[in-house]
Amino acid sequence: MPYYENIFIARQDVSAAQVDGLADQFAGIIEENGGKIAKREYWGLKTLAYKIRKNRKGHYVLFNIDAPHAAVNEMERSMRLNEDVLRHLTVRLSALDPEPSVMMRNKGQRDDRGRRGRGPAGDRPAGDRPAGDRPTGDRPAGDRPAGEKASPEKTPAQKPAGESSSPEPKAEGDDA
């Protein structure tokens, strides 16, 4: 039998227990039609990239399926009819991966990652950038490190066309 991978997203209003019930319902459809679910993973409630039917979040569930095409078609038909399912995607695979998916592998590693040598607040260590790499901008003299010069004033050649260094000529009769 061919192998498939299916992911569906359920509405955020539905509880995790109800999502588990939905997954049981879809797994039952596969088993009734002569297939089996090789792997089933609940990825949790995740934020969507964009709103889908006024939902900002969704419950993600993954199935690895070993079933005939007719069983997968029936499961997808049931998903389309169920209003709790926002989206689903099924792809055909050449072989099933028995290992946990990347989402499940990364779930345990989130707390283990370090700060990569940064300070307690995540700041860079002092002196890690050369002096020439620092922005100089138009900072007030008090904010400038010692030894750094202020940026030079604009010369008339550098000023935009609308600005001129000479005052505008007065018209005759204007003594105001």
Q: Within a domain: residue 114? A: no
Cα angle 91-93-95, degrees, rounded to a multiple of 5? 155
Q: Within a domain: residue 141? A: no
Q: What is the largest CA-CA distance in the chain?
A: 102
CATH classification of the domain holding 48: 3.30.70.60
Q: Within a domain: residue 34? A: yes
Q: Within a domain: residue 92? A: yes
Please state, as a whole number, how many other Cβ atoms lie within 10 Å of the Cβ of residue 139: 13
Q: Within a domain: residue 28? A: yes
Q: Within a domain: residue 44? A: yes
Q: Any idea which residue has 């989206």 for tokens? A: 87
What residues make up the domain containing 56? 3-100
Give CA torsion, residues 138, 141, 145, 146, to 10 deg.
130
Compute CA 161 distance to the chain's CA centroid, rounded to the nearest angstrom.
Answer: 45
Decide: pTM greater than 0.85. no
As for how many domains the chain has, the answer is 1
Q: Within a domain: residue 168? A: no
CA distance 77 to 75: 5
Q: Within a domain: residue 73? A: yes
Q: What is the DSSP string of 67-133?
A: --HHHHHHHHHHHHH-TTEEEEEEEEESS---SPPHHHHHHTTTTT---TT--TTSPPPTT-S-GGG
Please list the pLDDT of the chain residue by residue as tens digits (176 residues).
889 999 999 999 999 999 999 999 999 999 999 999 999 999 999 999 999 999 999 999 999 999 999 999 999 999 999 999 999 999 999 998 888 888 888 776 655 555 555 555 555 565 666 666 656 666 565 665 666 665 555 555 555 665 555 555 566 665 55
CA distance 136 to 143: 10
